[in-house]
Structure 1
Amino acid sequence: MSTSETTVRDRLLDALREREQEIADRWVRLQLEQSTLGVDLGEYELREEADLLIAALGAGLASDVPVRQLVASQHELRRTVIELSLRRARAGATPTATSLAVLSLKEALLEAVQHTTADSRELFDAAVLVNRLLDAAGALSFETYVEGREEIIQRQSNQLMELSTPVVRLWHHVLAVPLIGTLDTARTQVVMENLLQAIQDNEARVAIIDITGVPAVDTAVAQHLMHTVNAVRLMGADCVISGIRPPIAQTIAQLGIDLSTILTHSTLADALTAAVRLTDQPSVPTPHAPAGP
């Protein structure tokens, strides 16, 4: 580390220590005034973030790590920037707004340095150091936000997929999976895992896959269904497919897809009746019309 950089770092560190509360207050006001948040954060939350980041900056400047490597190498500072970015990602802020919020700390820091020196050269060197330091912090916050947001979206997507493929117990030893929407490879895997686990947990002997809500069946969808059926059979259970509507039946016939080894029915009610017979249980009771007066 050069002597000039050490001097500038000391000057900036003195400003942080002497005017810590003032810098934090100024940074909070800047974010509120400039609308750089991109999310509804209260003044208390912003002040808490400011205190943590300013303390981490002070610890980093007090270390022997060069400024160019400070954000990447100093553990406390890096962790603080990452946590700030992830917290704002979860709150719904944009990556641009998050990085701009970090960068707006420059103005608050330089205003504090101005109060500690009248030397224009020192002030210029401090501005260069602050820009170098907070540009790296802004870039890290942007990168962290994008990675964290992708993780959040993927987790939410997985949760929605699991919610959209429930396994329902219809009868003793009979389960059903009502499918709605497109059946792709990822969703087939979720359906298969959930269904096989439910078969084991419920000691099911028949699984009904209802495709009434599947808009179209092509070769890929048929292959996904066959894989699921084969997996169910390996668990020692029978499989019934319901929801074979006339258009789907025509498509399957035109594509030459062979479902002859699978028991199929047009309605879930018919599939349930067949499933009950397969389990050698009493027949499903047929609802009767209410008696007249």
Structure 2
Amino acid sequence: MTADAERAQTLTDLLRANAEPLIDQWVGVVAALLRGRSTRVELEADFREFFAALLPLVGRDGKDTAGPEFGEIRSLLEEYSRARVRAGFTPSETAASVFSLKREVFGLTENSEDPQMFRQLMAFSGLLDALGLLTFEFYARAREEIIREQSEQLLELTTPVVKIWEGVLAVPLVGTLDSARTQVVMEKLLEALVETGSEHAIIDITGVFAVDTQVAQHLLKTVVAARLMGAECIVSGIRPQIAQTIVALGIEFGDIVTKASLADALRHALRRDGVDVVRREAQ
């Protein structure tokens, strides 16, 4: 056995022999830090797994946490960070759960005058620093994934496809129309056309803040996609300001039917199907 292995084993033995009180103190410190938002039972279960995965790594400096020997502890930290994101904890609180172990280990060896032990502690400190930084990375990645999932869900909610008459679908758009949202509109509209067999689709832009060249291109793509499915598309909600903008930009809608309001678009679609809407006189 090499001298480095002997030195590493010394700290490993010390940690293993004092595992129970060390974990108990660690759990207590983090529980106080989190102010009761995570129970001791939950923390103890997580920290026992973490401690068991950490022991074989004692003596490493943590410079290459991407190595296969770090696989188990990376998985534990990633799962822990993801759970903390969903529970509403901050990245500092999440990383502090790892960093807190350092103080407890230093307290365990504070009376040691062995220079070898000091070097081992410095290496152990660097290892915990590297693992703490990993939690920051995993936390940021998990939060980005959750934000992306929520954005996709929000797009689904804000882009409804409504059946307003037999054979007539409507897509009321509100806000800004960008590439991502256009894709959602197109997919949902095409799915609804297949499911209902509708021959008319009304894209209502009354709630769209502004129409520029990019927005117009997105609308045209959606209309072309619907036409390929055999449906006639009508763009409604062309207010005077939007009409002036379209003319000023030189945007050509070609043979696409445009109407000032959703009611006008529905009336046009019904007439194309041979249905006349007649106002009944009050008796």
| TM-score with structure 1 setting the length | 0.86
Find the residue that maps to 1:104 and give its secondary structure. Answer: helix
Task: Work out which of the residue numbers 86, 94, 98 in structure 1 matches 2:94.
Answer: 98
- Sequence identity percentage: 45
Residue 264 of structure 1 is matched in structure 2 by 258
Check the 8 A contact 1:60/1:70 in 2, yes or no. no
Residue 285 of structure 1, CA deviation: 6.9
Per-residue deviation, 1:122: 3.9
Query: How many residue pairs are counted as aligned between the two chains?
Result: 281
Is the Cα contact below 8 Å between 2:61 and 2:124 reproduced in 1?
Answer: no
Residue identity matched to 1:55:
A
Structure 2: give runs of 5+ residues left out of the alignment. Answer: none
| 1:143 aligned partner | 137
Give the structure 1 partner of residue 212 of structure 2.
Answer: 218
Shift of 1:71: 4.0
Identify the range of structure 1 (168-177 vs 24-33) with the bigger mean alpha-carbon deviation. Answer: 24-33
Gaps of at least 5 residues in structure 1 are: none
**Residues 287, 128 of structure 1: alpha-carbon distance in 2 compared, 3 angstrom cutoff:** farther
Cα 1:218–1:6 shift into 2, 3 Å: same
Q: Deviations over 1:184-205 (max 9, x none)?
A: 1111111111111111111111
Q: Residue deviations 1:3-46, cap 9 Å, x none?
A: 2x32333223223322222122211222234x3x5993333322
What's 2:14 paired with? 15
Indicate the residue corresponding to 1:155 in structure 2.
149
**TM-aligned CA deviation for residue 260 of structure 1:** 4.3
Matches within 5 A, 1:21-36: 21-33=20-32, 35=33
* Contact 2:95-2:132 at 8 Å conserved across structures: yes
Alignment RMSD (CA, Å): 2.5
Out of 59, 78, 82, the residue aligned to residue 82 of structure 1 is 78
Partner of 1:167: 161
Match for 1:130: what amino acid?
Answer: F
Match of 1:80, SS?
helix
**Structure 1 contact 12–113 (Cα < 8 Å) conserved:** no
Cα pair 2:31 2:38 within 8 Å, conserved: no
Q: 1:141 to 1:13 in 2, by over 3 A?
A: same
Kindly state the Cα deviation for residue 255 of structure 1 after the two structures are TM-superposed. 1.8
Q: Indicate conservation of the 8 Å contact 2:259/2:265, yes or no.
A: yes
The Cα offsets for residues 263-292 of structure 1, whole Å up to 9 and x where unpaired, read as 111221221122222234x44575877x7x
The aligned amino acid for 1:126 is Q
For the structure 1 residues 238 and 129, does the alpha-carbon distance in structure 2 shift closer, same or farther, using more than 3 Å as the test?
Answer: same
